[in-house]
């Protein structure tokens, strides 16, 4: 599961999930449960550029991927014009569904002669143990006047905005649930609460969920 209700995690849990990151990935059922659990507990820091945004990664003395005050960024995420496509998927085929939707969005942007202005991202709007509903988005320079839709079901709109905290995921998508475990523990330890809304921004173009070179930033929006 992704961001839902997190209780009972803190110091000891943080150490435990750190071991999980170092030893291996979770199974698909476990991955679904953690992400749903993650969907309702997050927060942001202060200052930051556009949203979702990329930036320099602060160095951390801790094990790779473990959230700390030095590796998280809290920011005000501004709304940006985007082209987007809504979709639904089960967790087992999640990355394939997301990258497939992003391909369609990119093609529609190109066909319309619009200018992309950043990396694509997925907005997770609702999750349960088995499935999730999302919107694959790509930022554009501006929304064409009088248009609300492009081709192939791709629509025009704006990205989510508000206070959010950014976490780093570096590694395969198959292992991303380990990062959500760590986020859950971090938020619980800090006493932070979040909306059931989070964003994954993909900084690399891989379509293979097992590709260890994947880089993604995870934005969790605060209540």
Model confidence pLDDT, tens digit, residues 189-214: 999 998 888 999 999 999 999 999 99
Q: Based on the structure, what is the number of domains in the chain?
A: 1
- How large a percentage of the chain has pLDDT more than 70? 69
Answer yes or no: is 166 within a domain.
yes
Question: Mean pLDDT throughout 4-22?
Answer: 38
Q: Which CATH number goes with the domain that contains 99?
A: 3.20.80.10
Confidence of residue 157 (pLDDT cuts 50, 70, 90): very high
Confidence of residue 66 (pLDDT cuts 50, 70, 90): low
Average pLDDT score, the chain: 78
Secondary structure, 3-state, 23-51: HCCCCHHHHHHHHHHEECCCCCCCCCCCC
Contact between residue 79 and residue 159 where contact means Cβ atoms under 8 Å apart: yes
pLDDT given for residue 72 in this prediction = 85
Answer yes or no: is 3 within a domain.
no
pLDDT of 120 over the 90 cut: yes
Question: Mean pLDDT throughout 156-184?
Answer: 94
pLDDT of 24 over the 50 cut: no
pLDDT given for residue 186 in this prediction = 87
pLDDT given for residue 204 in this prediction = 95
Q: What is the Cα–Cα distance from 12 to 200, expressed in whole angstroms?
A: 27
pLDDT of 1 over the 70 cut: no
Q: What is the Cα–Cα distance from 163 to 221, expressed in whole angstroms?
A: 6
Domain that holds residue 54: 11-206+214-222
Answer yes or no: is 37 within a domain.
yes
Answer yes or no: is 5 within a domain.
no
Nearest-Å Rg of the Cα atoms of the chain is 17
Q: How far apart are the first and last CA of the chain?
A: 19
Answer yes or no: is 4 within a domain.
no
Answer yes or no: is 63 within a domain.
yes
Confidence of residue 180 (pLDDT cuts 50, 70, 90): very high
Question: Mean pLDDT throughout 51-79?
Answer: 59
pLDDT in tens, 88-113: 999 999 999 999 999 999 999 999 99
pTM for the full predicted model: 0.74
pLDDT of 67 over the 70 cut: no
Q: Residue 99 is encoded by which pair of tokens?
A: 């990258």
Q: Residue 209 is encoded by which pair of tokens?
A: 């969920």
pLDDT given for residue 117 in this prediction = 96
pLDDT given for residue 138 in this prediction = 97
Answer yes or no: is 6 within a domain.
no
More confident residue, 63 or 215: 215
pLDDT of 15 over the 70 cut: no
């Amino acid at each position: 599961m992704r961001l839902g209700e997190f209780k009972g995690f803190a110091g000891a849990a943080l150490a435990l999930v750190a071991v999980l990151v170092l030893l291996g990935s979770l199974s698909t059922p476990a991955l679904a449960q953690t992400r749903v659990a993650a969907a309702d507990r997050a927060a942001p820091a202060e200052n930051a550029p556009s949203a979702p945004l990329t930036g320099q990664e602060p160095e951390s003395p801790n094990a790779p991927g473990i959230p700390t005050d030095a590796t998280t960024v809290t920011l005000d995420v501004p709304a940006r014009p985007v082209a987007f496509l809504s979709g639904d998927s089960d967790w087992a085929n999640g990355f394939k569904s997301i990258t497939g939707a992003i391909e369609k969005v990119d093609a529609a942007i190109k066909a319309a002669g619009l200018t992309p202005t950043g990396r694509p991202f997925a907005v997770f709007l609702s999750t349960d143990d088995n499935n999730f509903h999302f919107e694959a988005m790509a930022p554009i320079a501006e929304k064409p006047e009088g248009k609300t839709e492009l081709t192939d079901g791709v629509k025009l709109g704006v990205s989510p905005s508000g206070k959010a905290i950014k976490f780093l995921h570096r590694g395969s998508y198959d292992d991303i649930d380990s990062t959500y475990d760590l986020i859950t523990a971090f938020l619980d330890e800090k006493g932070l609460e979040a909306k059931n809304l989070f964003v994954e921004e993909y900084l690399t173009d891989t379509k293979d969920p097992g590709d260890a070179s994947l880089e993604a930033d995870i934005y969790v929006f605060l209540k």
